[in-house]
Amino acid sequence: MIRIAIQSKGRLNEDSCLLLKDAGISVDELKRKFLGKASDFPLEILYLRDDDIPEVVADGSADLGIVGYNEVAESGAEVTILRRLGFGTCRLSLAVPKTDKYDGLSYFNGKAIATSYPRVLRSFLDKNGIDASIREIRGSVEIAPAAGIADAIFDIVSSGGTLVSNGLKEVERVLESEAVLIAGPSLSEDKKPIVDNLLFRFDSVSDSRGKKYILMNLPTSSVEEAVKILPAMRSPTVMPLAMDGWCSLHSVVKESELWDKVEALKKIGAEGILVLNLDKVIA
């Protein structure tokens, strides 16, 4: 049995639960309180505030955790990043009142910066030789300049909408973040195969995300061209059709490239193109 800590509510909860579900792990939602148990995998789920996850994993109370990289960096906890998970993307940035003239990092010398991420900010300022004071505040950091609490802020930015609506502008991107899967410094031998199995499942899920299965009929004479358009895991699968001179071609494409590829394939004679959802890619 292994234990994974995930956010109990908040921005990462839904995607963390979806990742487990897509990996074929069912958790009884009704029993979801503090500690849940998967019915079909040797896994316990510990639901916590995100701030607590790095420490709990570092001290071995949980074997794994799913948390924003920003929290890992701020905690300084001794954990290993096993995977970047591709959701919860955001950045930690410095922002200043939009009417201020900003001409580089020296702007911050002698200024007060409000943040919930003092450790990451301190290390960035020290590295750049900037002498600024840090006002640690929890929540609503973006109102600090207007409220006269600080001159600037250092906070999470995603779309940037919050900064704009508070009369601020982003001037330095300091740390890029996304949800990460973390592990503690020591994992007992009996738990390793379970973690490996879980990683294998997570990798299959992330390989299939954003991809589509595509199949079509194609004149045999166009196969060579089609292979150039559709480089699949090895190469597309080509199967003969009953009609002479035609074949059926199957492949996997990134959703973001789908329409460009479809257009190119139509130009070389592809017909009856079917695009299907891809459930899993098993390496």
The footprint of Zn ion on this chain (CB under 5 A) covers a number of residues equal to 2
Binding mask 70-109 for ligand PRT (x = CB under 6 A): xx----------------x-x-------------------
Q: Is 11 in the site for Zn ion (CB under 5 A)?
A: no
For Zn ion, give the closer residue by CB, 14 or 28: 14
The site partner of 172 among Zn ion, ligand PRT, none (C-beta below 5 to 8 Å per kind) is none
Q: Is 158 in the site for ligand PRT (CB under 6 A)?
A: yes
For Zn ion, give the closer residue by CB, 127 or 138: 138
Q: Is 55 in the site for ligand PRT (CB under 6 A)?
A: no
The site partner of 151 among ligand PRT, Zn ion, none (C-beta below 5 to 8 Å per kind) is none
Relative orientation angle of helices 192-208 and 13-22, to the nearest 10 degrees: 100
- Binds ligand PRT (CB under 6 A): choice among 159, 186, 256, 277: 159
Residue with tokens 């080509």: 238
For ligand PRT, give the closer residue by CB, 68 or 184: 68
> 108-123 burial by CB neighbour count: b if 16+ within 10 A, else e?
beeebbbbbbbebbee
- Binds ligand PRT (CB under 6 A): choice among 161, 188, 256, 272: 161
Q: Is 206 in the site for ligand PRT (CB under 6 A)?
A: no
The footprint of ligand PRT on this chain (CB under 6 A) covers a number of residues equal to 22
CB 158 within 8 A of CB 135: no
The site partner of 90 among ligand PRT, Zn ion, none (C-beta below 5 to 8 Å per kind) is ligand PRT
Report how far residue 212's alpha carbon sits from residue 215's, in angstroms, rounded to the nearest whole number: 10
Q: Is 50 in the site for Zn ion (CB under 5 A)?
A: yes
For ligand PRT, give the closer residue by CB, 50 or 151: 50
Residues binding ligand PRT (CB under 6 A): 7, 10-12, 49-51, 68, 70-71, 88, 90, 142, 155-162, 177
